[in-house]
Amino acid sequence: MLQIPPKHLPYLHKIAEAAQEVAVDSYVVGGYVRDLLLGKGAKDIDIVCVGNGIDLAKAAAKRFPDNPKVVVFKNFGTAMFKADGFEFEFVGARKESYQRNSRKPVVEDGTLEDDQNRRDFTINAMAISLNEDFGQLIDPFEGQEDLRQGLIRTPLDPHTTFSDDPLRMMRAIRFATQLDFDILPETYQAISAMSDRLKIVSMERIIVELNKIILARKPSTGFKLLFNSGLLAQFFPEFCNLQGVDEKEGLRHKDNFYHTLQVLDNLSQNSDDLWLRWAAILHDIAKPPTKRFERGHGWTFHGHDALGAKMVPRIFRNLKLPLNDRMKFVQKLVALHLRPISLTKENVTDSAIRRLLFDAGDDIDALMLLCQADITSKNANKVKRFLENYEMVRQKLHQVEEKDRIRNWQPPISGDEIMATFSIRPSREVGILKNAIKEAILEGEIPNKYEDAYAFMLRLGSKIGLEANIENEEKFLENDPPSS
């Protein structure tokens, strides 16, 4: 008999009563049972019944307060409703593979045993009875023992289980990474042998698993398994290209694949932000295409920051990641990831600090976290020196921000105002003036004030042959800036 949390018992009793009403046997299955045995909380409760899952869902929903709305997926023979912050999903037992989100319609009904046979891993194939033997664990493949030993193993021959749904190869690695489990060698060998079958799986499904790996405590574990099994090459070749070390004239560069994974692990100790973790994954992505050997100097990767930022949108598009402000954030961090290190020099100027604050804006703290994670030297003294230098940069950033308030800053004169002042249409001149004002403030040539910027604009405008219209000039002379 399993210890079911007291809070969940009333739900399961309601479902058991509904199952009696529609005369089917029913069971809780999958992730709920696994997480219960692992002592983790669950938010989804999956129910399998030997019969029609949709009918059971409808009968069960009626027993919950406010009779929650049942959403039916007729093609898949599933139905679900939400109640009390939980999602209850119902399905009839089936003979063929169980795949959530699969487009394959259900064809053949089966027994509980058929259903368990067709699940992905022994630890996900356990069931709790909601019948006369309520609460009894049904564990035909010793999933409980695999949980104890920390093993990912398929219930059937792995080739059969993975042929049913090749995404399960990713899921094996995802669970191994999340739970810190080993994959049974026979199961892992099948993944290596069948890795190219992942090609038939949609990128939308792959990325869900990849993001779960990225959000694990130590994502490098998953990436190494993905790489070594050949799965990573199926959908993310740019990342595989980072692997390898070249040698010339006795000079070698570091292996950028393992370096990147170290950066990702370092960062993951300090941040749970998926997108900051993506920035770590992509920060050196352009090292392979920018790699050169310079005689007498060694290996260089000039411009890998700028090219890397340029590569981000295509990578996001290929991986079906969102093409929104999250992508822009990643792109920005990749573009700026070398900047803080250049500020660790002794005699760095305030204007260099202001520029970084301006370019990074509110993402400055994320950028500093990334750069700190980028220190992967094995030399403890070097690491200490780097960390101290970063602390110095942090202090300088803080001092300059206190003084000049550059973070979130917009130059005081807009393009519209420039056009109105000189009665010109959108043109190259507007850009030149706007940029010059920004540069003059960041360089400290003029104070960060409206009046100074306005005077600067008039001087520069007249230098490049623009005539200010009288009304505006008068306003300026009266020292009464137009509100904008």
Segment contacting ligand CTP by CB under 6 A, of 97-105, 260-268, 274-282, 476-484? 97-105
Of these, 81, 98, 390, 456, which contacts ligand CTP (CB under 6 A)? 98
Q: Which stretches within 25-166 are classed as H helix?
A: 31-37, 53-61, 112-117, 143-149, 158-164
Q: Is residue 120 part of the contact set for ligand CTP (CB under 6 A)?
A: yes
Nearer to ligand CTP, 168 or 438 (CB): 168
Q: Is residue 124 part of the contact set for ligand CTP (CB under 6 A)?
A: yes
* DSSP string across 288-344: HHH-EEETTTEEE-TTHHHHHHHHHHHHHHHTT---SHHHHHHHHHHHHTTHHHHTT
Structure tokens belonging to residue 411:
């130059």
At closest approach, how far in Å is the CB of 124 from ligand CTP? 3
Of these, 2, 20, 72, 99, which contacts ligand CTP (CB under 6 A)? 99
At closest approach, how far in Å is the CB of 91 from ligand CTP? 9
- Which are the contacts of 471, defined by CB distance < 8 A and separation ≥ 6? none
Q: Which of residues 149-178 bind ligand CTP (CB under 6 A)?
A: 165, 167-168, 171
Q: Is residue 119 part of the contact set for ligand CTP (CB under 6 A)?
A: yes
At closest approach, how far in Å is the CB of 203 from ligand CTP? 15
At closest approach, how far in Å is the CB of 195 from ligand CTP? 16
Distance CA 175, CA 166 (A): 15
Of these, 18, 19, 30, 54, which contacts ligand CTP (CB under 6 A)? 30
Nearer to ligand CTP, 25 or 44 (CB): 44
Nearer to ligand CTP, 31 or 288 (CB): 31
Phi-psi bin for 230: left (phi > 0), alpha (psi -120 to 50), beta?
left
Q: Are 195 and 229 in contact, with CB atoms under 8 Å apart? A: yes
Distance CA 133, CA 137 (A): 9
Whole-Å CA distances, 380 to 244, 373, 465: 25, 14, 59
At closest approach, how far in Å is the CB of 235 from ligand CTP? 16
Segment contacting ligand CTP by CB under 6 A, of 92-100, 250-258, 276-284, 419-427? 92-100
**How many C-beta atoms lie closer than 10 Å to residue 305's C-beta?**
21
At closest approach, how far in Å is the CB of 321 from ligand CTP? 19
Segment contacting ligand CTP by CB under 6 A, of 119-127, 227-235, 273-281, 326-334? 119-127
Distance CA 2, CA 261 (A): 40
Q: Is 428 exposed, middle or buried (0-12, 13-18, 19+ CB in 10 A)?
A: exposed
> Shortest CA distance to 109 belongs to which of 49, 56, 19, 163?
49
Q: Is 469 exposed, middle or buried (0-12, 13-18, 19+ CB in 10 A)?
A: exposed
CA 483 to chain CA centroid, Å, is 42
At closest approach, how far in Å is the CB of 432 from ligand CTP? 54
Q: Which of residues 210-239 bind ligand CTP (CB under 6 A)?
A: none
Q: Are 268 and 285 in contact, with CB atoms under 8 Å apart? A: no
Q: How many residues bind ligand CTP (CB under 6 A)?
A: 14
At closest approach, how far in Å is the CB of 98 from ligand CTP? 5
Q: Is residue 141 part of the contact set for ligand CTP (CB under 6 A)?
A: no
Nearer to ligand CTP, 11 or 239 (CB): 11
Distance CA 84, CA 87 (A): 8
Q: Is residue 100 part of the contact set for ligand CTP (CB under 6 A)?
A: yes
Of these, 8, 21, 31, 51, which contacts ligand CTP (CB under 6 A)? 31
At closest approach, how far in Å is the CB of 213 from ligand CTP? 12
> Shortest CA distance to 130 belongs to which of 51, 28, 21?
28
Residue closest to ligand CTP when measured from CB atoms: 31
Count the helix, strand and coil residues of the chain and give each as a percent rounded to the nearest 5. Answer: 55, 10, 35
Nearer to ligand CTP, 40 or 403 (CB): 40
Structure tokens belonging to residue 116:
């368990």
Q: Is residue 277 part of the contact set for ligand CTP (CB under 6 A)?
A: no
At closest approach, how far in Å is the CB of 119 from ligand CTP? 4
Distance CA 56, CA 29 (A): 15
Nearer to ligand CTP, 32 or 422 (CB): 32
At closest approach, how far in Å is the CB of 197 from ligand CTP? 13
Phi, psi of 134 (to 5 degrees): -45, 130
Q: Is residue 354 part of the contact set for ligand CTP (CB under 6 A)?
A: no
Q: Is residue 146 part of the contact set for ligand CTP (CB under 6 A)?
A: no
Which residues of this chain interact with ligand CTP, rule CB under 6 A?
30-31, 44, 46, 98-100, 119-120, 124, 165, 167-168, 171
